[in-house]
Structure 1
Amino acid sequence: MASGTEQQCRWRRRAWIAGAAALVVLVAATGLGAWFGSDQAIKVVHYGTSNARVLAVRGDMVTLEQTPQTGKPGTYWLEWSGAYSLLGDVESRAPGRVTRKVLRGSTPSAGTPGYFGNVPPGDPEVAWGIGYTEIMVPTELGPAPAWYVPGRGDTWVVAVHGQNGRRKAELKILPVVHELGLPFLDISYRNDEGAPPSPDGLLHLGDTEWRDLEAALRQARTMGARRFVLYGTSMGGQIVGQFLSRSPLATTVERVVLDAPMIDVRMTAEQGAGNFHLPAFLADLSRQVVRWRTGVDTDRLSLIRYPPKIRPPLLLIHTVPDADDPIQSSRDLVTTGRRLGWEIQFEPFSRGGHTEAWNVDRARYDRLVREFLSPARNVR
């Protein structure tokens, strides 16, 4: 029979083993969480699965299965099998169902699965009936495709989409740009579908992608462009910011429009950790993993703490409920702008998710862009 001292030693040993095992599990979980967080920032993902189903069709009214996406207020697109509908706001609701009106495009059949999203379908011709040419931009990694819509004069609008996005995301602005007669160039960059991959196969959050934007402007200059308006959404805003900080062509930029931009990578990472109910310290660890995997110093990717050297007039659009790139980063950029004498027109939208300002209030969005770009139309 074991003595009391031996039993105490045994219990102590078991406690140490249990504690060590718990520590190993905690460290492993923290490491996995940090790696997961870094993947959310830099992993290349190409989307395209269906997320909606048509339950019924009556005339130009389409009833969809209600989901967090299909039940959102505003104007959105439904794509399926090479066709699409531009759907208006929710007309009526019933348990598990929402009904919306077809504003443009085809009408789907009942039972059709499709993708319900906030970006236009296809290309400029498909989305808006506007003719275009696809050109190839010679980047340092190889040719990258871009859509070119001709216009008048030598001031071009160049559009840059966001993280793991597609060129079609930037087509929301095209009707207004085309109405003003400005040439439009919608670019792709490294890791996009059809564009060359980065050497490590990962996103660099704007730290290297800005060079592909620079290559696009160089190509545009060979085609007659002299001045530019840059339009960037989400991570495209960070790409534009890094271009303005680092490129010798930044002085050719006359105006900038940013929609829900990634202004500060730290703030975006903290927002992402909160979205997944992860502890805040994991955001810092994730950024360290990003630096280890890519060599990118994410601390430098803050337009608030490191504002660009060239600061053209900026129209800054952001939805208040944005759960990806927090609106506080835009507010902080406005504060920085005031200190530097940087002309920033800040336009918050009270509704809408990430890059959905156009979707929840197209009339206001188009008016803001039209008024902001009108002076550029007169530059020749």
Structure 2
Amino acid sequence: MGRADLRGAVRRGARGTTERRRRGLAVAIAAGVAGAGIAALAASAAAAITMARRVVTPVRERPEDIRVLAVDTARATIRLSRTADSAVPGRYGFWFAGGRGHARVGRVLHEDAGSVTRVLESVQRGTLESAPAGRWGGWYWLEPGELGVAAVETSIRTPVGDAPAWFVPSVDGGSGAGEDWIIHVHGRGASRAEGIRAIPLARELGWASLLISYRNDGDAPASADGRYALGAAEWRDLEAAVAHARDAGAGRIVVMGWSMGGAISLQLLVRSELAGLVHGLVLDSPVIDWRTVLRFHAALSGLPRSVGEVAMGLLGTTAVTPLVGSAEPIDLASLDLVARADELSVPVLILHSDDDGYVPIDASLALADARPDLVTLERFARARHTRLWNLDPERWEGVIRAWISRLDASSGRTARPRRRGAADGEPTG
């Protein structure tokens, strides 16, 4: 082989080597891209499973994200770090020491860019001075007895067992027979104490109150899987409470649902054979369509919309319910009361805030638009989730009072207002 031929062979060999390297590099890049795609897909799937599990898993511990900067018991003040919750006017509960401590805080005295100083009204549990942080709450009272009313500890026979409840007659010593009843249904991660705020108004209007617990809320027995069904199963526990009220001789029954308690209340209306015993609903910051809520939280968490959509799909897929932890799939479409608005047959009062921060007002607006003949919407601002009473109790009570009066008129009854006093809900400490 001549020198020229040798040079040509070398060049051809070099070109072949370069081409092989390029092909190898292309294959490696393709494999890397595919691997990254698979990894991204796996990460998205894991995020969707985590989100789906979080939705149905009962809340037992909550982060204490508001720092306690100073406590002055002599002046009855507390200075807290400024957050979206701690800066809103009104009266609130403040939980600390992992939920073992509780205080009542009142009006804002001073605020700046980083802190808020408020009235410290009282401490019910724990030592606030030693608490580094706590969390905001709408529960101003922890037990009905703090109102100075006589509450009867009772229980409701539900499909999962006996669930504790408080019964507060409209007048001391009442048995409930012949009285109109309001059944209070608390929200996700809350307890029956959430509804205590409504007892004084109920008594003023001559209504008894039944504050119930339901499966997996920490007070009532757990279901077999120990998971929330977002109203798809809990309505049966509310149905048992309605049957209890009927058997006790209740007259009219109104159900008041808070947050997820609103979803439970609405499911009772469209699923229960006892729905005809319910004369109306009062819903505070209600979940009316879970898909609206879950999309909101996916966006709030910075998750891609696709992850939220997959999470919602997982909740309703039988094959993957073991990964989520639920015994049965949850059909989110069946829980959408905007889509099922034509099934409503009793008056509904909705109280919701534009600044809820947890359950967006969108579905409440849509339901009010769909059924203006039955649904009354009272729209608040600034109030956070289920804390409308805390921000403006006069307005909150006034709206419900007027709605009950209209219900009385439609029933041919006359409201029975009573003079309020310490025994009817004025703070005792």
State the TM-score, normalizing by the size of structure 1: 0.91
Deviates more, 1:226-235 or 1:56-65: 56-65
Is structure 2 residue 330 aligned with structure 1 residue 296? Answer: yes
> 2 CA distance for matches of 1:36 and 1:67?
27
State the one-letter code of the partner of 2:275. A
Partner residue in 1 for 2:288: 263
Q: State the alpha-carbon separation in 1 of the partners of residues 342 and 272 from structure 2.
A: 10
Shift of 1:308: 6.4
Residues 378, 254 of structure 1: alpha-carbon distance in 2 compared, 3 angstrom cutoff: farther
Give the aligned partner of residue 111 of structure 2: 93
User: Secondary structure at the residue paired with 2:21?
Assistant: helix
SS of residue paired to 2:142: coil
Indicate the larger mover: 27-36 or 60-69: 60-69
Contact 1:271 1:323 in 2 (8 A): no
Per the TM alignment, residue 367 of structure 1 is displaced from its structure 2 partner at its CA by 1.1
Q: Deviations over 1:331-360 (max 9, x none)?
A: 10011103xx3x221100011221121122
- SS of aligned partner of 1:9: helix
1:121-142 Cα shifts (integer Å, max 9, x gaps): 421113x232211111111111
C-alpha distance in 2 between matches for 1:378 and 1:252: 20
SS of equivalent residue, structure 1 residue 183: strand
Q: CA deviation at 1:7?
A: 0.4
Q: Could you report, residue by residue, the CA deviation over 1:357-379 in whole angstroms, capped at 9, with x for unpaired residues?
A: 11221110111112222454748
Which deviates the most, 96-105 or 262-271?
A: 96-105
Q: State the match for 1:110 in structure 2.
A: 129
Residue in 2 that maps onto 1:10: 24
The match for 1:146 is 165
Q: 1:140, 1:106 → 2: CA distance?
A: 34
1:254 matched to 2:273? The reply is no
Partner residue, 2:76: 60
Is contact 1:56–1:111 with CA below 8 Å preserved after alignment? Answer: no
| Matching residue within 354, 360, 364 for 2:395 | 364
Displacement, 1:62? 2.4
- Cα RMSD (Å): 2.4
- How far does residue 239 in structure 1 lie from its aligned partner after superposition? 0.5
Aligned counterpart, 2:351: 317
The answer on whether the counterparts of 2:163 and 2:220 sit within 8 Å (CA) in structure 1 is yes
**Alignment-mate amino acid for residue 150 of structure 1:** P
Is the alpha carbon distance of 1:106 and 1:192 closer, same or farther for their aligned partners in structure 2, counting shifts above 3 Å? closer
Deviates more, 1:231-240 or 1:354-363: 354-363
Instruction: Give the residue type in structure 2 aligned to 1:313.
Output: P
Q: Secondary structure at the match of 2:55?
A: helix
Residue 170 in 1 paired to residue 195 in 2?
Answer: yes
2:404 corresponding residue in structure 1? 373
Asked if the contact 1:156/1:184 (under 8 Å) is kept, the reply is yes
Give the match for residue 328 of structure 1. Answer: 362
Q: Distance in 1 between matches of 2:209 and 2:217?
A: 19
Distance in 2 (alpha carbons) for counterparts of 1:308 and 1:235? 21
Aligned residue identity for 2:267: Q
Indicate if the aligned counterparts of 2:170 and 2:202 stay in contact, CA closer than 8 A: no
Residue identity opposite 1:360 in structure 2: L
**What code does the residue aligned with 1:332 have?**
A
Q: How many Å apart are 1:307 and its aligned residue?
A: 2.4
Deviations 1:3-62 (A, max 9, x none): 112101210121122012111111111101211221232111223664442513142322
Residue type of the alignment partner of 2:77? M
Any unmatched runs of 5+ in structure 1? none
2:269 to 244, 254, 257: 244
8 Å contact kept, 2:252–2:278 = yes
- For 1:47, the equivalent position in structure 2 comes to 61
Q: Is the 8 A contact 2:163 2:219 kept in 1?
A: yes
Q: Which amino acid aligns with 1:29?
A: A
User: In 2, distance between residues paired with 1:267 and 1:157?
Assistant: 28
Q: State TM-score, norm by structure 2.
A: 0.81
1:157: how far off?
0.2
Q: Runs of 4+ in structure 1 displaced over 6 angstroms?
A: none
**Counterpart amino acid of residue 187 in structure 2:** G
| Of 377, 382, 395, the match for 1:351 | 382
Structure 2: distance between partners of 1:117 and 1:143: 27
- Percent identical among aligned pairs is 31
SS class of match (1:73): coil
Q: CA deviation at 1:78?
A: 2.3
Structure number with bigger Rg = 2
Equivalent of 1:28, from 31, 37, 42? 42
- SS at the partner of 2:341? coil
Give the distance between the partners of 1:50 and 1:177, measured in 2 at CA: 33
What is the distance in 2 between the residues matched to 1:39 and 1:323? Answer: 21
Deviation string 1:53-89 (CA, Å, 9 cap, x unpaired) is 2513142322234344323333212245766443222
SS of equivalent residue, structure 1 residue 198: coil
Which SS does the other structure have where 2:93 is aligned?
strand
- Partner of 1:39, secondary structure, is helix
- Where structure 2 has 5 or more consecutive residues not aligned to the other structure, the ranges are 1-13, 172-177, 322-327, 417-429
- The 3-state SS of whatever aligns with 1:273 is helix
**1:193-272 equivalent positions in 2, closer than 5 A:** 193-272=218-297
Distance (Å, rounded) in 2 between the aligned partners of 1:7 and 1:84? 69
Partner deviation per Cα, 1:304-323 (whole Å, 9 max, x = no partner): 10126342111111000223
- Encode CA deviations 1:237-276: one digit per residue, 9 max, x unaligned: 1111110001121111112100111111111111111111
Q: What's the CA shift for 1:103?
A: 4.2
Matched with 1:184 is 209
Kindly indicate whether the alpha-carbon contact (under 8 Å) linking 1:245 and 1:307 is maintained by their aligned counterparts in 2. no
